Amino acid sequence: DIQMTQSPSSLSASVGDRVTITCRASQNISPYLNWYQQKPGKAPKLLIYAASSLESGVPSRFSGNGSGTDFTLTVSSLQPEDFATYHCQQSYSSPYSFGQGTKVEIK
């Protein structure tokens, strides 16, 4: 099974900050890496698929990068509505595993 590890587990940031979250896979999964945003009490929302493709309707301040085993999600200028938990997910092979999540909190 492919293990997904996110770092950090949580971070504090201010509105306007540039934020980067890292996701590492236990083997090469390129480009089968997706990113989701989840707000408290809500379902996850797809942000990025295939490592760097922006889902329709998602603001352009979100971007994804990476290849092989190492991937990043960057928010170029954090907005109040971006405070949430972010999950990466590999879709390279079954079982389709998720990272443990990164909680982005207000500083």
Q: Which is nearer to other proteins, 40 or 80 (CB)?
A: 40
Ranges within 37-56 binding other proteins (CB under 8 A) = 42-46, 49-50, 53, 55
Query: Quick one: which of 13, 31, 72, 83 contacts other proteins (CB under 8 A)?
Result: 31
Q: Does 69 contact other proteins by CB under 8 A?
A: no
Q: Are the beta carbons of 63 and 76 closer than 8 angstroms?
A: yes
Q: What's the closest the beta carbon of residue 34 comes to other proteins, in angstroms?
A: 4
Q: Are the beta carbons of 24 and 33 closer than 8 angstroms?
A: no
Q: Are the beta carbons of 44 and 38 closer than 8 angstroms?
A: yes
